[in-house]
Chains A and B, each alone.
Chain A
């Protein structure tokens, strides 16, 4: 039997059969006790679980029977973020959830080919694409009973879009144009993230995780005026408790599938990626309540966890050649991360000289660009930048808020009188910052490293005739109202060199 995931906007709504069955399945899973591996709470906790926080939010009580310690260590708190397992882990997670839900639906007499729908929020042909699907907002189901799809803590935003007050940028498909999966070299941006171990919160995002993944989470979850999560989607420890989480991640997964179908892109298939992390591994509940293991290699096209979608073009930024037939998957076959034929290299151009603490006021720091001979050559003339990518890196970004944001700008001299031009960069969303910064949990506390592509900004500066680019002044601020400081260990500039 073939399951094909479909665009929620193209289903026969309102309240298409697929969503009605999804709602009933959610209600059935919610009725199961937490320790039951097929329960809603258990699946939410696989993504992230903060026992005290769940008690504070009345998701469970102090007396709720939780899974045994050994199972908590092995199966819960498993989501992979800010590392190169982000995409395959979430694909395996979706597959386990879909199998369980579809099994229940078929057992109740529903369709036996039920598949998770996806929310195609970046479909430019659909003017309502960015609206949270109405079925996830309605209080009641068509039969007048309570709607389990809207029973979630959310921030209140009903149409996805930028949130300038808190520094959340608009969502876009820029990541779809990154052609290499793994950021092997330091300081650059890959599609799927840098080499990492098992990392519930690793150190550096891939392009697709940075946008649209992170901003959509924060737009739906929202934040309070003091930048605490307003709703579940903003915090990885709660995000998967919201039924809309699964439709969001289904779309992220589809964006990856579309990216894979473009022969110009190089997917990671090194042995270390395909076999997954060690010693912790990726474990998911089975339909019968057992536990099964999966590897990233199994999520690739042709593997047992590879999904099928009704369309890979609308809202993905990928155009599939008409005569392509079976999509040709571009995968580098090598044991080395990043592959042998499309090697990614980088060179450090310069860095600032001190760590920064960003509180309620902005902080500026000078990044010298003439610290190495290579950097001197790279910034000697506008032509030197052509054909390369320049990245501004914020390294070792730490903070205690669950999710934070930073507003970053460049100041460059614009005239002989000392005038300066300010170039605003896209705000940085730090989904899961608190977890990544915690030193006493299951994380090393090294925070995040964020790579921002500033190639166009540098080209513009140099095209304006300011060829003597000796340094960049970088200003970092938090959105107004943020009370908790965020620290940045180092600001650096890297140049990507592709063979």
Chain B
């Protein structure tokens, strides 16, 4: 019981409740969105024969902004629970009047990293979905993500996710520093999580469920403490073992 309580209290530590709220709101937005504008719907309908046509059609003829928006809301739904440490840092380090600006600039730096990553990951998801029928594409991308999580490279990236940088107390430097912290965390986050983001994009009908499942996996990985980069069991197991009293 105390292990469940230990976990539950972690969720109460500020700013985690606010970040979980943000994530839940983004999930709701995605739930209310028409299925036709979702990336997963496109993935569900592609095959290798028509891949080039669909990429051009989606990118140029249909609204590219819908794709970008869908991707960013997806990031907004899945990533906030992972950001408790750096967000706490950028809110505590500056003088009081700079906190809203600090949060906005952090979000800008962090969001830009995922925006650029999306330019590669969304087409990659189309390719994965086109290369194999469902659920083979999902199983393959899941297996790859699991292997990636066990790798030294992923551990090194996760270690960098815990890294904090200097934040100036006041002035424009504060905002610049917060944007830099956002970019630093965002880069590490993309490096640690990118294969996992492809998994839900290959699932059409249970897209939100798949997203929620991957969010839990990534959250569990982030709860695990930094470790020496080496091949190991995926850290999600370490977090699950934390529920066991011994």
- Determine whether B159 belongs to the interface, using a CB cutoff of 8 Å to chain A: yes
> Do B9 and A271 touch across chains, with their CB atoms under 8 A apart?
yes
For residues 38 through 73 of chain A, which have their beta carbon under 8 Å from a beta carbon of chain B? Answer: 73
Stretch at the interface among A150-158, A210-218, A274-282: A274-282
> Do B246 and A444 touch across chains, with their CB atoms under 8 A apart?
no
- Determine whether B144 belongs to the interface, using a CB cutoff of 8 Å to chain A: no
* A275, B2: Cα distance in complex, Å: 6
For residues 138 through 184 of chain B, which have their beta carbon under 8 Å from a beta carbon of chain A? Answer: 156, 159-160, 162-171, 173
Contact of A442 among B96, B163, B167, B225 (CB under 8 A): B225
> Do B169 and A439 touch across chains, with their CB atoms under 8 A apart?
no
Residue of B nearest to A346 (CB): B92
Residues of B within 8 A of A271 (CB): 5, 9, 12
Stretch at the interface among A102-110, A348-356, A454-462, A474-482: A348-356
Residue of A nearest to B159 (CB): A439
For residues 332 through 358 of chain A, which have their beta carbon under 8 Å from a beta carbon of chain B? Answer: 335, 337, 347-348, 350-351, 353, 355
For residues 212 through 246 of chain B, which have their beta carbon under 8 Å from a beta carbon of chain A? Answer: 223-229, 238-243, 245-246
For residues 194 through 221 of chain B, which have their beta carbon under 8 Å from a beta carbon of chain A? Answer: none
Residues of B within 8 A of A445 (CB): 159, 162-163, 226
Residues of B within 8 A of A292 (CB): 246
* A73, B95: Cα distance in complex, Å: 39
> Do A441 and B166 touch across chains, with their CB atoms under 8 A apart?
no
With A275-B5, A278-B7, A441-B228 known as contacts, the answer to whether A335 contacts B92 (CB < 8 A) is: no
- Majority SS of interface residues in chain B? loop
* A351, B167: Cα distance in complex, Å: 10
Min CB gap B158→A, angstroms: 10
* A374, B167: Cα distance in complex, Å: 19
Residues of A within 8 A of B239 (CB): 279
- Determine whether B63 belongs to the interface, using a CB cutoff of 8 Å to chain A: no
Contact of A489 among B160, B166, B224 (CB under 8 A): B166
Min CB gap B191→A, angstroms: 14
* A355, B160: Cα distance in complex, Å: 20
Interface size on B, residues (CB 8 A): 44
- Determine whether A226 belongs to the interface, using a CB cutoff of 8 Å to chain B: no
Residues of B within 8 A of A195 (CB): 13
> Do A439 and B246 touch across chains, with their CB atoms under 8 A apart?
no
- Determine whether B93 belongs to the interface, using a CB cutoff of 8 Å to chain A: yes
> Do B229 and A440 touch across chains, with their CB atoms under 8 A apart?
yes
For residues 5 through 61 of chain B, which have their beta carbon under 8 Å from a beta carbon of chain A? Answer: 5-7, 9-10, 12-13
Min CB gap A20→B, angstroms: 35
Partner-A contacts on B (CB < 8 A): 2-3, 5-7, 9-10, 12-13, 92-97, 156, 159-160, 162-171, 173, 223-229, 238-243, 245-246
Partner-B contacts on A (CB < 8 A): 73-74, 186, 195, 197-198, 270-272, 275-281, 283, 291-293, 295, 335, 337, 347-348, 350-351, 353, 355, 371-372, 374, 395-396, 439-446, 489-490, 492
List, sorted by A's number, 10 A–B pairs whose CB atoms are closer than 8 Å.
Answer: A275-B5, A276-B2, A279-B223, A279-B243, A351-B170, A353-B173, A440-B156, A445-B163, A445-B226, A446-B164
